[in-house]
């Protein structure tokens, strides 16, 4: 929960300033980060779109509260986002992919849009066309949680306790746990993770 809720809160709400009624595109909606971002943004009144690698994951993300889920293996998310937003683009993107997604993300952002980069599964280098950054007044930012100091993490914890923990207690949002393995079955857990069939988190238990 610290890895996902702290990361999503600090990047989507604090850093990118997502507001109710705004639109958010979450790449990798079936990931631990993605399932958390969809639920939180939906709970706080934003409209969430997401990309995933299978139709099963699309269906799951819709159940979590996404307004639309795009299978990136069969559809071009830039075209779909343009259609879903009447050509306006989304206000905020939470991206864990990077690489070739970067120029495509810029195309998907609305005027005054904000891109938050928190992982780089497709590579650390990208080419940038600076024109849309000027014309659409875009903000490109990102962060990593682990290197931040205790004071920063404590401040996030306080916000989460006040604003998000009540939702967890009510059961209106929940951490998504795909499966649980004993520590001695760690190999099976890794095989599942490499297959990318999982949605949400895979847990290892230590007796």
Ligand X SMILES: NC(=O)c1ccc[n+]([C@@H]2O[C@H](COP(=O)([O-])OP(=O)(O)OC[C@H]3O[C@@H](n4cnc5c(N)ncnc54)[C@H](OP(=O)(O)O)[C@@H]3O)[C@@H](O)[C@H]2O)c1
Q: How far is the CB of 50 from ligand X (least distance, A)?
A: 8
Regarding 145 and contact with ligand X (CB under 6 A), the answer is: yes
Regarding 189 and contact with ligand X (CB under 6 A), the answer is: no
7, 39, 105, 110: which one binds ligand X (CB under 6 A)? 7
Which is nearest to 97 in space by CA: 148, 52, 47, 64? 52
Of the listed pieces 23-31, 58-66, 156-164, 182-190, which binds ligand X according to CB under 6 A?
Answer: 23-31
Of the listed pieces 84-92, 114-122, 133-141, 154-162, which binds ligand X according to CB under 6 A?
Answer: 114-122
The residues, ordered by sequence, that sit 6+ positions from 193 with a Cβ below 8 Å of its Cβ are: 202
Of the listed pieces 31-39, 105-113, 123-131, 168-176, which binds ligand X according to CB under 6 A?
Answer: 31-39
Regarding 37 and contact with ligand X (CB under 6 A), the answer is: no
44, 62, 67, 72: which one binds ligand X (CB under 6 A)? 72
Of the listed pieces 22-30, 156-164, 168-176, 182-190, which binds ligand X according to CB under 6 A?
Answer: 22-30
Regarding 184 and contact with ligand X (CB under 6 A), the answer is: no
Q: State how far the Cα of 60 lies from the Cα of 146, in Å rounded to an integer.
A: 29
DSSP symbol at 6: I
- Residue 25's SS3 state is strand
Of the listed pieces 47-55, 60-68, 86-94, 150-158, which binds ligand X according to CB under 6 A?
Answer: 47-55
What secondary structure does DSSP assign to 118-183, as a single string?
A: ---TT-S-----HHHHHHTT-EEEE--STTS-HHHHHHHHHHHHHHTHHHHHHTSS---EEEEEEG
The residues, ordered by sequence, that sit 6+ positions from 170 with a Cβ below 8 Å of its Cβ are: none
Q: How far is the CB of 180 from ligand X (least distance, A)?
A: 15
Please say which residue, 38 or 96, places its beta carbon nearer to ligand X.
96
Quick one: residue 17, left, alpha or beta (phi over 0 = left, psi -120 to 50 = alpha)? left
Which is nearest to 52 in space by CA: 62, 39, 41? 62
Please say which residue, 53 or 132, places its beta carbon nearer to ligand X.
53
Binding-site ranges for ligand X (CB under 6 A): 3, 7, 27-28, 30-33, 51-53, 57, 72, 96-97, 118-119, 121, 143-145, 196
């Amino acid at each position: 929960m610290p890895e996902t809720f702290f990361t999503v809160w600090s990047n989507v709400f604090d850093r990118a300033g997502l507001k109710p009624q705004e639109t958010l595109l979450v790449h990798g909606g079936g990931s631990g980060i993605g399932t958390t971002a969809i639920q939180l943004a939906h709970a706080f009144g934003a409209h969430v779109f997401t990309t995933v690698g299978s139709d099963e994951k699309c269906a799951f993300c819709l159940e979590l509260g996404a307004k639309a889920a795009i299978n990136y293996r069969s559809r071009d998310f830039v075209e779909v986002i343009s259609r879903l937003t009447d050509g306006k683009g989304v206000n905020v993107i939470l991206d864990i992919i990077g690489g070739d997604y970067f120029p495509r993300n810029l195309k998907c952002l609305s005027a005054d849009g904000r891109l938050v980069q928190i992982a780089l599964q497709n590579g650390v280098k990208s080419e940038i066309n600076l024109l849309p950054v000027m014309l659409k007044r875009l903000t490109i930012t990102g962060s990593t949680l682990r290197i931040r100091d205790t004071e920063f993490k404590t401040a996030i914890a306080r916000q989460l306790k006040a604003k998000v923990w009540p939702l967890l207690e009510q059961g209106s949002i929940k951490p998504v746990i795909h499966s649980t393995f004993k520590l001695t079955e760690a190999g099976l857990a890794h095989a599942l993770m490499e297959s990318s069939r999982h949605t949400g988190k895979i847990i290892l238990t230590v007796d």
